[in-house]
Amino acid sequence: MKRLFFVLLFLVSLVSEAQIVGKVTDTSKAPLANVNVYVQNTYTGTTTNDDGNFELNVGREGKYIIIVQYLGYTKVTKEVNIESFPYILNITLKEETTSLDEVVINSSEDPAYRIIRATIAQRKENLEKISEYTADFYSRGLWKVKDVPEKILGQEVGNLEGALDSTRSGIIYLSETISKISYQQPNDFNERIIASKVSGRDNGFSFNSAQESTFSFYENTIDLRAAIVSPIANNALSYYDYKLDGVFYENGKLINKIIVIPKRPKDRVFSGQIYIVEDDWQLYGVEIKTTGSAIQVPFIKEIVFKQNFKYDKDYDFWVKLSQTIDFGFGFMGLNGEGHYICNYSNYDFEPNFDKDSFSNEVLSFEPEANKKDSLFWKGTRPVPLTNEELNDYIKKDSLQTLRRSKPYLDSIDNMSNKFSFTAPLLGYTYTESYEKWRLSYEGPVPGIAFNTVQGYNSNAGLSFFKWYNENQTNWIAASLNATYGIDEDKLRFQGRITKNFNRKNNLRFSLSGGSKLEQFNSSEPISPLINSISTLFFERNYMKLYKLDFARLEYQQELFNGLETRVRVGHENRSPVFNNSDHYYINNGSDVSYTSNNPLAPTDFTNPAIEEHSILKSDIAFRITFGQKYFSNPDMKFNIGNELYPRLTIRFENGLGASDSDYNFSQLSGELYQDFGLGNKGEFYYRVKGGTFFNGDDISFVDYQHFNGNQTRVGTSPNYTNTFNLLPYYDLSTNKSYLEGHMEHDFRGWILGKIPGINQLNFNLVVGAHVLATQDRKPYSEFSVGVDNLGFGVYRLLRVDYVRSNYNGVQDGAFVFGLKFLDLLGL
């Protein structure tokens, strides 16, 4: 009853502030959502919510001409004389009657093609019309889930902090923003958020972004992870068929309703209808959709776009007023839907931009943007809340104080802190949310592995995490881990403590030390899981190890936007280790047997690759992200890169004070990496690395430059721009100058999506080239062609490549099977 009272009180205060309020329905009295309601010849407007309700603030009493416009319905123009507020205005819209009576039909071609060609010819001019502007922007995002299972993969789901009702359905995310945006082609964008509201979090910052939500179908492609071809792109006629469904008039202008039909439904395409203004050749409205398989996000079922435009007579252009994006999703029994509303107003298409109008900060929040009270939102929100949304705000906001209380947090912790009989083997976490700390135990079972040095081995450990604010930007973490190998019969410990000061420049210090077995290549090109399988089932023990006793101090920080640094100084003692196990499951014949732990001499089981020695090791690295764009709020900074420019890393590594002076050395190295989209033609990646040694002639093999080879024929990374898939792990390791380059292009369906039959499978063609040049040796090269996005249903985490290598006149070829899910699982 109390909640009902608050809802009624809120609605009464809302109406009294709302000026013109009402509801838009169709002729059967069903509410119409996302209807544009605005004052004629102005940008003073709003959009109806899912209940059909609207609020329109006009400022003062007087006469107004109100326009009510919605795709598929006849526009209503209503003159009102307001003498007092609130003014009630309910509107009924009739479905638009389209006709082909005035259309000249050509038996050889549908009339839609003439319209589409004219619109494509006008595309660049239309883009130029919106090449720069400022506007007010409002967005609201909502995620709902339905019938959430009690458990997913054996883990308790809970009630998602009270979001689920008795049917295990409810809103899990509801957020709004009000902002001012500026745009200048081709890539300058700025959003200043004035107000931000997140349901259930009075200090939350919304994730809604105008740049991420602004889509123009005048562009050739729409970037939705994959580049989806616009129905009016330059090459649209190669992707779509069209049918003129009918025409109607609005204020003397002829509007064409055109059905958009994909030539190949599995291609990167939309379907639906677009509305084009005759002679202006501009968009009047868009109502089209695409699928999760088209954008290659399989758990997305469908994405529906609706855009509404109005004619600006001063600018002589049809301007976008509103946009909605609706989508459904489903994964592992978790199903739901999302809904985003975007409302644009107060455009200025002749802004006076100067050199200070744009920077690399593309999104920022005004001070106190997340502290606006309900009175502010009542008077400013252009699209009214639905009853469901209003109830969610009232419910979750009323629980905020409770959620921060010790009894509530303790009750939540008590559920997650339950100790199970499997905890000693699998792990356990104990949390004290009110005190802001948690203690975790890592059990031995998940870490079980096998290598020929330790035999069967595993690790267990404790970790402690303490945070000092709600957003966990300031925290300290400590861990202690133990590793034991049965055949080696050695127990080793290592520990680490890290202090993170903030999320603005990520200032962080770490102190670590202990004893462990380390791969000679510290990049760890072979994972314990892959090595275990390769060793036990194929008698190929590729992992080569040495013992490392160490103590290190690390520091990292973003010095300023686009420049990050990391400094590491430590003392290391390295010593050799030998095979202690010859165990296997499958004997592959007399021609296959274990190699020694010496990567320089695989058949030498007596002499090690290194002698025991100690050294003071230091390295400093700078990572430069050219033109780096970023989001920021008062607590955090989120770097989002810039695909127009590469990322450069420069590193100086130094070893001195070695127990054998011949081991002292220096190495200067660099790396250049970039990935960028090529429209609907896919994604291109490249990486170039190179370096040189100073005083490196007699250094330890540990300090050689090792390259990420692969002898297992199994790949785990999303792309292969840091891997040679047929190169033996240590054959070309060097202590001299070197240069390596990687290139890969993922066509994202541009080629295979056009082949009948194959295009139904939604596979991606991938080609790659890799080269390695080391001083005093001939170059090594690889070329590959593969198919990505393999799998079943929503599980598309497989890939297969055929790779050809060439070194010193010897060529080799093999298939490499990509198991990308191992990378996602950290295996």
Which has the closest alpha carbon to 335: 304, 299, 362, 366? 299
pLDDT of residue 101: 59
Instruction: Answer whether residue 267 shows pLDDT above 70.
Output: yes
Instruction: Answer whether residue 11 shows pLDDT above 80.
Output: no
- Residue 705: Cβ within 10 Å count: 23
Instruction: Answer whether residue 90 shows pLDDT above 80.
Output: yes
Cα 202–chain centre separation: 26
Q: Please state whether the peptide bond connecting residue 608 to the residue before it is cis, i.e. omega within 30 degrees of 0.
A: no
Confidence at 377, pLDDT banded by 50, 70, 90: confident
Confidence at 785, pLDDT banded by 50, 70, 90: very high
Cα gap 263→480, rounded to integer Å: 59
The DSSP 8-state label assigned to residue 212 in this structure reads: H
Cα gap 22→47, rounded to integer Å: 11
pLDDT of residue 100: 65
pLDDT of residue 189: 94
Share of the chain above pLDDT 70, in %: 95
Lowest mean pLDDT among 11-15, 24-28, 530-534, 638-642: 11-15
Lowest mean pLDDT among 27-41, 91-105, 540-554, 672-686: 91-105
pLDDT of residue 82: 87
Instruction: Answer whether residue 119 shows pLDDT above 50.
Output: yes
Cα gap 633→655, rounded to integer Å: 41
Instruction: Answer whether residue 13 shows pLDDT above 60.
Output: no
The DSSP 8-state label assigned to residue 405 in this structure reads: S
More confident residue, 281 or 161: 281
What does the pLDDT look like over 158-213, one tens digit per residue? Answer: 777 777 777 888 888 999 999 999 999 988 999 999 999 988 877 677 778 888 88
pLDDT of residue 154: 67
pLDDT of residue 72: 85
pLDDT of residue 647: 96
What does the pLDDT look like over 326-353, one tens digit per residue? Answer: 999 888 778 899 999 999 999 999 999 9
pLDDT of residue 435: 94
Confidence at 591, pLDDT banded by 50, 70, 90: low
pLDDT of residue 543: 96
The C-alpha angle 528, 530, 535, rounded to 5 degrees, equals 90
What does the pLDDT look like over 396-409, one tens digit per residue? Answer: 887 777 778 888 88
The C-alpha angle 511, 514, 519, rounded to 5 degrees, equals 105
Is 535 exposed, middle or buried (CB count within 10 Å of its CB: 0-12, 13-18, 19+)? buried
What is the 3-state secondary structure of 237-279?
A: HHCEEEEEEEEEEECCEEEEEEEEEECCCCCCCCEEEEEEECC
Which has the closest alpha carbon to 625: 643, 644, 641? 641
The DSSP 8-state label assigned to residue 562 in this structure reads: T
Reported in sequence order, the residue ranges of 664-794 that DSSP labels E, i.e. its strands, are 665-677, 683-694, 714-715, 738-746, 764-774, 780-792
Amino acid in position 608: P
Instruction: Answer whether residue 801 shows pLDDT above 60.
Output: yes
Instruction: Answer whether residue 355 shows pLDDT above 80.
Output: yes
- Residue that has been written with the tokens 């330890």 in this structure: 700
Cα gap 479→488, rounded to integer Å: 24
Lowest mean pLDDT among 43-57, 316-330, 514-528, 552-566: 43-57
* Residue 56 Cα distances to 37, 139, 175, 474, angstroms: 8, 16, 21, 43
Classify 390 as helix, strand or coil.
Answer: helix
Contacts of 368 (CB under 8 A, 6+ apart): none
Give me 319's structure tokens.
Answer: 């301007």
| Mean pLDDT value across residues 296-319 | 90
Q: Are 445 and 467 in contact (CB under 8 A)?
A: no
Cα gap 283→320, rounded to integer Å: 9
Instruction: Answer whether residue 412 shows pLDDT above 90.
Output: no
Confidence at 58, pLDDT banded by 50, 70, 90: confident
* Main-chain phi, psi angles of 239, to 5 degrees: -115, -20
What does the pLDDT look like over 682-718, one tens digit per residue? Answer: 999 999 999 999 999 999 999 999 999 999 999 999 8
Cα gap 306→302, rounded to integer Å: 13
Instruction: Answer whether residue 5 shows pLDDT above 70.
Output: no
What does the pLDDT look like over 564-579, one tens digit per residue? Answer: 999 999 999 999 999 9
Instruction: Answer whether residue 520 shows pLDDT above 80.
Output: yes
pLDDT of residue 12: 40
Q: Which residues pair with 69 in a beta bridge?
A: 36
Cα gap 17→85, rounded to integer Å: 8
Query: Is beta strand 87-88 parallel, antiparallel or unpaired with respect to 20-26?
Result: parallel
Confidence at 825, pLDDT banded by 50, 70, 90: low
- Residue that has been written with the tokens 């000026």 in this structure: 19
More confident residue, 83 or 725: 725
Is 697 exposed, middle or buried (CB count within 10 Å of its CB: 0-12, 13-18, 19+)? exposed
pLDDT of residue 297: 86
Confidence at 589, pLDDT banded by 50, 70, 90: low
Confidence at 3, pLDDT banded by 50, 70, 90: very low
pLDDT of residue 106: 63
Cα gap 46→60, rounded to integer Å: 17
* Residue 260 Cα distances to 295, 597, 610, angstroms: 18, 63, 68
Which has the closest alpha carbon to 143: 121, 119, 164, 116? 164
Which has the closest alpha carbon to 515: 465, 554, 556, 480? 480
Confidence at 657, pLDDT banded by 50, 70, 90: very high
The C-alpha angle 154, 160, 166, rounded to 5 degrees, equals 95
Mean pLDDT of the chain: 90
pLDDT of residue 207: 74
Lowest mean pLDDT among 121-135, 317-331, 367-381: 367-381
Cα gap 409→430, rounded to integer Å: 13
More confident residue, 98 or 598: 598
Cα gap 525→545, rounded to integer Å: 12
Q: Are 508 and 555 in contact (CB under 8 A)?
A: yes
Contacts of 416 (CB under 8 A, 6+ apart): 156, 158, 429, 431
Contacts of 646 (CB under 8 A, 6+ apart): 626, 672, 673, 674
